[in-house]
Amino acid sequence: MKRRVVVTGLGASTPLGTGVSKSWQALCQGKSGIGPITRFEAAAFRTRIAGEVKDFEPLDFIDKKQVRRVDRFIHFALATARMAIEDSRLTINPDNADKIGVSIGSAVGGIENMEKTHQLILEGALHRVSPFFIPGFLANMAPGYVALEYGARGPHMCSVTACASGTSAIGDAFRVIGRGEADVMIAGGTEAGITPIMVAGFDALKATSPRNDEPEKASRPFDKDRNGFVSSEGSGMLILEELEFALNRGARVYAEVLGYGSSNDAYHVTAPDNEGLGAANCMRMALNDADISIDRVDYINAHGTSTQLNDLTETRAIKSVFQEHSSKIPVSSNKSMIGHLWGASGAVEAVFSILTITQGIIPPTINYETPDPECDLDYVPNLARKARVGVTLSNSFGFGGVNASLIFSRFHP
């Protein structure tokens, strides 16, 4: 039997605010964190809105020298890891460090530092290229710097599975603990890609919403008038522990991780399979891993990007897996309020899925104004809902056809 894995610490920095409590309260109030881009001059772009973390001050978490040396996505990772570790009251010392690891995902890594360094080269200022450029932008340096900061010498992983990266990182950490390779894993996702090259790329794909005059209404998952996702930045982090290890040190337990599933559509580089076959397979794998029946799931935290294809195929996938039970399960999309944090999305949504269990509140899908006849589930429109939630399923899907699902449950000793 695999070892039981529980969640003992949470950290988050999102467009709704820095800190778990601030983000969660705004989410339950149905507030939007989407606004005009301020990190660079965006007047020439098709899409000029994003979900920026405007209250984030890296110096609150990291020393000045470190802030200068590494990319913003590492700032987020260090900050949320610190929040989660402090929340869990975990002490890492030479006696346990070999059994404490780090697993953090990122879709693009330090793209902001890369763009700035490339500009220096174009300007002929090679002497100004930092010797810390390479170790400050590589995707695996997010878990690397976290491990270095806390002396975590156990398993080290970096999931790069596009918009499923955070979910994959947590799922991989869950399996590592289950196999006995670690007792604790710092796991999550981080992203800071609100940059000219990324916005231009998504503009070219016409994947993002150009609703620039109404940024707070731009992300509208499952609504008939949805017209693209909204790019965002931030990070989510969990402390996962083997059950006995957590109980022996007197840790507070938020929830238990029951299952994880991962699959690929093998269909198209950007578009999901029309019938959601890969997503359905992924959810079934997570349910099988958790060894629970479909009627045990009380809430689905959808990937729900606000694109025409994703929302339709995710709806079809849910109906395929849950059959007649699908009409009874509340399904909502956090992205309606925080936008799409790419590789960090699944990690932030994992934090919110766990709080849905502990707080008994299902966050809404805001901007749901015009029902789509083909998207006909209970999307918890516009207002949060009080409910007793015992089991949640959280979905993440990404470019390259990747799918990942996590199942969390109320903790039963």
What positions carry a catalytic annotation? 163, 303, 340
Are 50 and 194 in contact by the 8 Å Cβ rule? The answer is yes
Please enumerate in sequence order all residues whose Cβ is within 8 A of that of 206, keeping only pairs 6 or more positions apart, or say none. Answer: 46, 228
Tokens at 301, concatenated: 């935290």
CA distance 394 to 126: 45
CB burial of 263-282 (b: ≥16 within 10 Å; e: otherwise) equals bebeeeeeebbeebbbbbbb
CA distance 189 to 234: 9
Are 237 and 83 in contact by the 8 Å Cβ rule? The answer is yes
CA distance 116 to 95: 41
Q: Is the four-CA dihedral 20, 259, 164, 188 of positive or negative sign?
A: positive
CA distance 70 to 116: 12
Please enumerate in sequence order all residues whose Cβ is within 8 A of that of 345, keeping only pairs 6 or more positions apart, or say none. Answer: 163, 166, 167, 189, 191, 303, 335, 396
Query: Cα dist. 196→14, 191, 206, 257, 344 in Å?
Result: 20, 15, 15, 38, 19
